[in-house]
Amino acid sequence: MALDARAAAARIVGQVINGKSLNQAMPVLLEKVTDRDRGLVQQLCYGTLRQYPRLKGVLDQLLDKPLRKKDSDVTALLLVGLYQLDGMRVPDHAAVAATVDATKSLGKPWAKGLANALLRRYLREREDLNSALDEATSNAHPQWLYGKIHKQWPDDATSIIEANNGQPPMSLRVNTRRVNREDYLERLVIAGIPARASTLSPQGICLQQAVDVSDLPGFADGDLSVQDEAAQLAGILLAARPGERILDACAAPGGKSCHVLELQPDLESLTAADIDEQRLLKVSENLQRLGLEASLQTMDATTPAPPEAGEGFDRILVDAPCSASGVIRRHPDVKTLRRPEDIGQLADQQLRILQGLWPRLKPGGTMLYATCSILREENSQVIAKFLALQTDASHRVPEGSWGQATDFGRQLLPSPDGADGLFYSILTKAG
């Protein structure tokens, strides 16, 4: 028997509250709902997690005391119910009734009366409950992150917060080995999918609204990929040349590796590496669909190359693990899972990755450092520390009219109707 959509969403959100990532929790539960309900479950989960700090602030006022940890699925169901009342076009009475019914599917019938009373009270006191929240919580952000955004980007904070709380745009990257952008835009017109050319990437296309990839002409044949236009800058900035050896050091799921291969078909080789062997399977799938070839390697980028590693690389792309503070709208569980102390730990890891990879770069070679973070601790400050330690390294700020130049790179900030928030810096090794 299929699981009720709201109960499935509650179990997923409950697992995130308890520390699992959305990417870990969702696939398993989606298998237990009907095909018809999968879209609804995803909408409930993403919407609830985007608004989690605000919804939790409201729920804390409605509950006399927090529910027990073993009932985190009920806590999550109440949050899902609150989200429906504010964030979906479901009549209030229907949203309440469906949430109350889901307690049975969760195997928690005792929560039926609690859910009914709590959600109806919210409908009566909604304005007062929301007005009692502090500024950060009201804007659906944890206090520490809200404060950092306002301190580091005071002129852009309002736009960043709005972008973080909204649905992300869907962008495509045409495979220039198979099709050019103008021709593909015409195919989208014929398919009835409104789109425009990207202003950031010559291979990019921005859709007016998201569609299933199965509806995109030529997707299965490898004519295009789904990739945000900010992320497409990585392949362009790497500027690979014919005959070069390229390393994509944190490659999974492979979008950037594939773009490099599409842009430069005459490489000597491209190695797509990742610390997680399972994640390399996704890289392999993308390469196969696009008709591209690369060497796959499981590698800990923080470990310097052993003597037997052989010839170095002409160019290395480092898409470093980070807080994902520039792509929160795509990964809303960041608001729940990320802690302020994580930022320093991530910055230390990023520095270790740069130091571990540097010996793999040939003299005169180029390293492109990228993160999907908007926090300076993970970006300019990491590059500054690396340059202070590595005397044969110099840096260059990427040229362009996009983003904002910083002391050690160029920063794109997330925009409500535009690109994600990414940072890029170009490092060169003395020849």
Catalytic residue numbers, as ranges: 372
**Cα–Cα distance measured from residue 364 to residue 369, given in angstroms and rounded to the nearest whole number:** 16
The answer to whether the CB of 120 falls within 8 A of the CB of 143 is no
- Bond into 253 cis (ω within 30): yes
Ramachandran area for residue 212 (φ above 0: left; ψ -120 to 50: alpha; else beta): beta
**Cα–Cα distance measured from residue 402 to residue 425, given in angstroms and rounded to the nearest whole number:** 14
The answer to whether the CB of 114 falls within 8 A of the CB of 28 is no
**Cα–Cα distance measured from residue 353 to residue 96, given in angstroms and rounded to the nearest whole number:** 49
Angle between helices 112-131 and 72-87 (to 10 degrees): 50
Read out DSSP for 98-115? HHHHHHHHTT-GGGHHHH
Angle at 330 between CA 294 and CA 236, to 5 degrees: 40
Helix (H) or strand (E) holding 385: helix 380-389
Number of H helices and E strands in the chain, helices first, is 17, 13
The answer to whether the CB of 372 falls within 8 A of the CB of 422 is yes
The answer to whether the CB of 190 falls within 8 A of the CB of 241 is no
Q: Which two tokens stand for residue 397?
A: 């700020």
**Cα–Cα distance measured from residue 269 to residue 70, given in angstroms and rounded to the nearest whole number:** 51
The answer to whether the CB of 208 falls within 8 A of the CB of 231 is no
